[in-house]
């Protein structure tokens, strides 16, 4: 059994054996606690600000097809042509997912369809490689350059064919108004009679 008494030096316990051990009360340092709390609040604010970064959130919304979230972010001033660390834009993210509604929304807000990422890939190249016909048509109607080439030198038509998307290649050929690349034709053989919007149907 332990008996407890309080001396001038704090609380102490005395076991029946007669051995004594002093246990001193710890006085809280309120100034230090305030500083720690303030630092914690600052850290939480920084994390929240990073998580709510509008441009990052816009990229995520475009990639996942969250149209309402996309609308909200664009209305709040998110940069429609912002880039991530790989140089990719929200439009590229939407093209990779094949989300036509998001693509059209971003284009309506001024997204540049001809921006290239660090690999030299455009949004049209993404949609073409993934085989998304409607996305390809929407991007062409929005002014995407069908003559763009990747840094590897591949044209969009070549990329589409390499990916096994012959229908996409045909759409691109129609838009570019040229014969198949394999036939050895050049851009000079194209006609100037059709407009990009003709290929949205």
For position 129, what pLDDT does the model report? 92
| pLDDT value at residue 177 | 74
pLDDT of residue 36: 67
Give the domain CATH number at 142.
Answer: 1.25.40.20
The predicted pLDDT at position 53 comes to 86
Instruction: Name the residue range of residue 99's domain.
Output: 57-199
The reply to whether 104 falls in a domain is yes
* 48 belongs to a structural domain: no
Q: What is the torsional sign of CA 111, 114, 115, 119?
A: positive
Element (H, E) at 10: strand 10-15
**Directed axis angle between helix 90-97 and helix 123-130, to 10°?**
10
Residue 137 lies in a domain: yes
DSSP codes joined into one string, 102-145:
HHHHHHHTT--TT---TTS--HHHHHHHHT-HHHHHHHHHTT--
> Would 40 be classed as within a structural domain?
no
pLDDT of residue 154: 87
Rounded to the nearest angstrom, the gap between the alpha carbon of residue 114 and the centroid of all alpha carbons in its chain is 17
What local confidence, expressed as pLDDT, does residue 151 receive? 86
Is residue 138 included in any domain, yes or no? Answer: yes
Is 101 within the bounds of a domain?
yes
pLDDT of residue 25: 55
Please give the tally of structural domains in the chain. Answer: 1
Q: Note whether residue 42 is domain-resident.
A: no
- Residue 24 lies inside a defined structural domain of this protein: no
For the chain, 201 residues long, give each residue's pLDDT as a single digit of tens: 444 444 444 444 445 545 545 545 556 666 666 666 666 666 565 544 543 588 999 999 999 999 999 999 999 889 999 999 899 999 999 999 999 999 999 999 999 999 999 999 999 999 999 999 999 999 999 999 999 988 888 899 998 999 999 999 999 999 987 444 434 444 444 433 444 455 555
Q: What is the pTM of this model?
A: 0.64
């Amino acid at each position: 059994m332990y008996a407890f008494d309080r001396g001038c030096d704090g609380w102490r316990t005395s076991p029946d054996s007669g051995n004594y051990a002093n246990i001193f009360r710890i006085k809280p340092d309120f100034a230090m606690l305030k500083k720690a709390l303030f630092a914690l609040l600052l850290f939480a604010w920084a994390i929240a600000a990073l998580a709510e970064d509008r441009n990052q959130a816009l990229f995520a919304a475009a990639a996942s097809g969250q149209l309402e979230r996309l609308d909200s972010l664009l209305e709040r001033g998110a940069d429609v042509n912002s880039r991530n660390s790989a140089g990719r834009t929200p439009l590229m993210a939407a093209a990779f997912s094949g989300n036509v509604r998001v693509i059209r929304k971003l284009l309506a807000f001024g997204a540049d369809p001809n921006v290239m990422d660090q690999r030299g890939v455009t949004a049209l190249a993404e949609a073409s490689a993934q085989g998304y016909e409607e996305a390809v048509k929407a991007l062409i109607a929005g002014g995407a350059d069908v003559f763009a080439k990747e840094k590897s030198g591949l044209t969009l038509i070549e990329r589409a064919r390499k990916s096994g998307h012959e229908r996409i290649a045909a759409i691109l050929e129609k838009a570019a108004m040229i014969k198949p690349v394999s036939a050895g034709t050049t851009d000079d053989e194209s006609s100037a009679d059709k407009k990009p919007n003709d290929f949205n149907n």
